[in-house]
Chain A
């Protein structure tokens, strides 16, 4: 593999992996933050009238 081409292949795979891992992390952390806020509401006795809890269906 020519060195110059190895750089382009590594850059393409590296940037893709970093971007996708960052997106997955953002989705996971966003989900945790929302669940934490819902749980805090439940702890204060505030819950949905029609639901069983913050994470029904979790």
Chain B
């Protein structure tokens, strides 16, 4: 099946229906493996056992940024090609990305307290991640505030693209400013600076959470397509009732 064929909602439903159980199963298996590796990995020489929080905090941060980048791509699909599936993808992904951004901040806060002595500081990385969460929440609020779904989709797409400027700020904040948050140690020039015994478990949980996010996104997209079909049927029934 060509990739463009999936742009048809009915074909997308058929394809995603076949892929979803495998994706969800792979996510659960890889996450289980990742957590076994994470809790068997050695403690960090400085941070001790609290380094275990890294195996969920870092994937949540990556997925919050990846989710927003996918929203920006969907926004182009909404505004440039006006494709309904792009709007479906955008609407379905926003709450999932919001949850990962929230969990990134929550787990970071729970990691910061024993390591930095505080749950929160207004440093560039933490503040820009908070802005990312507020952008996600703004998108959810914007969609629910506008009754016309097409207008809501376009408004959300514009806000997404304006807010996308924050994604590179989150990523490079630790390089551009002097922050309490540690600098990049995995996705950096010169390769990861983390010891392989800690890096492999992190890689496993990151892959597992990525597959989980994809599975949740596919499931939410399928529901959104069916919800739109239902809306059309209800509108048609209501119109026929008026004319009868």
Contacts and interface: CB of A to CB of B under 8 A. Distances in A.
**Interface SS of A by simple majority:** helix
A56 B107 contact: no
Contact of B95 (A4, A23, A46, A56): A23
Given A5-B50, A28-B219, A48 B114 contact: no
Interface residues of B, number: 42
Nearest to A11: B110
B106 A57 contact: no
Contacts of B204: none
B106 A5 contact: no
A2 B48 contact: yes
B115 to A, nearest CB: 9
Interface string B36-69: 0000000000001110110011001000000000
Interface in B1-53: 10-17, 48-50, 52-53
Contacts, number: 103
A16 B13 contact: no
A37 B233 CA distance: 11
B232 A16 contact: no
A9 B230 contact: no
B56 A48 contact: no
B2 to A, nearest CB: 17
A34 B216 contact: no
Interface of B: 10-17, 48-50, 52-53, 56-57, 60, 95-96, 99, 102-103, 106-107, 110-111, 113-114, 212, 216, 219-220, 222-223, 226-227, 229-230, 232-234, 236-237
Interface of A: 1-2, 4-6, 8-9, 11-13, 15-16, 19-20, 23-24, 27-28, 30-31, 34-35, 37-38, 41, 46-48, 51, 54-58
Interchain residue pairs A-B with the least CB separation, the first 9? A57-B13, A57-B14, A31-B223, A1-B49, A12-B110, A12-B107, A8-B110, A12-B53, A34-B226
